[in-house]
Amino acid sequence: MYTFLDYFNRIAHYEWWVVLVELLLIGLVIWWVVDFLEGTRGERLFRGVIFILVSGVLVLNLIVAHLPFDRLQYLYRGFLIGVMIVAVAGFQPEIRRVLIQIGQPRIWAGGSHQLSRTVEELVTTVTELSAARIGAIIVIERQVALGEFIETGVRLDARVTSDLLKTIFYPGTPLHDMAVVVRGDRIVAASVQLPLAEAGSVAGVELGSRHRAAVGITAGSDAMCLVVSEETGAISVARDGKLIRNLTESQVRSHLVGDATVEHVPLMGRLLKRHTE
């Protein structure tokens, strides 16, 4: 079994730029995996697997390799194979998701036309739901991933359209009762359970479950929420744990494309601001 000293002796004969390129490529792969898994349960599993592998390699190379523990080394190699099998099973949802994303062309996903269209679809949705007094809560994900909440719902991965959103929130449908999460121009999941803010968290206002959920999710992340009241039809926007109520159509659009959103939302940024200019 090779030790760290053997490894360094071997790479000493390589060209320095070859070693540098290899290390950069390995670093990029690890960074991409961590970024892809950020905010999901897979991220914690990945960290656990990496910790087990790194600590095991360190122990074997620094201690066990210099001692006559052949059976321990043999058992550890078998343990590594078991860890890899468990990791593949544990990462099954993430592996499936990345394969789906690779198979979907997304060259124009961030274009100004798609982004402007997404804003208009959201504005149309809440306006028409408000007129019909159909309750709804739409969470717009920003830089902080909402993977742990998305996993509580039903994954959709569909383009944002007013017709689809209105169908989801129509009373009596299986997915209407909780939240929809939007990431960029995609509906990521529906029937998502959100954390509820404590009663009385907004001074002087008695909030229903949808509004409490909007305050709760925005207080713990940088997400923005659109809420339609089932009782009054009023449209509200939640941001940073604060609720802005009784908004008009133009005010909702302003919140989606305003300066605060331009600063924080990666896929609803400066390109969206062109819509209002």
What are the structural domain ranges in the chain? Answer: 4-103, 112-276
Strand, coil or helix: what is 265? coil
- The confidence score (pLDDT) of residue 164 equals 95
**What single-letter DSSP state applies at residue 181?**
E
Alpha-helical segments (H) within the chain: 4-11, 16-37, 41-62, 70-90, 92-103, 112-132, 147-150, 162-169, 209-219, 249-257, 259-264, 270-273
Strand, coil or helix: what is 135? coil
- Sign of the C-alpha dihedral, residues 241, 246, 251, 257? positive
Q: Of 242, 252, 224, 222, whose CA–CA distance to 140 is shortest? A: 224
> Angle 41-62/70-90 helices, nearest 10 degrees?
170
Cβ neighbours of residue 230 closer than 8 Å, sequence gap 6 or more: 133, 134, 135, 208, 210
Pair 135, 230: CB distance under 8 Å:
yes
- Sign of the C-alpha dihedral, residues 159, 267, 90, 217? negative
Q: Tell me which residues of the chain have a pLDDT lower than 70.
A: 1-12, 36-44, 60-69, 92-114, 198-206, 258-277
Distance CA 158, CA 188 (A): 7
Distance CA 264, CA 261 (A): 5
- The confidence score (pLDDT) of residue 242 equals 85
Distance CA 228, CA 209 (A): 12
> Angle 41-62/16-37 helices, nearest 10 degrees?
140
What pTM was estimated for this model as a whole? 0.57
Distance CA 131, CA 110 (A): 31
Its CATH architecture, for the domain 112-276, is 3-Layer(aba) Sandwich (3.40)
Distance CA 199, CA 207 (A): 7
Distance CA 259, CA 257 (A): 7
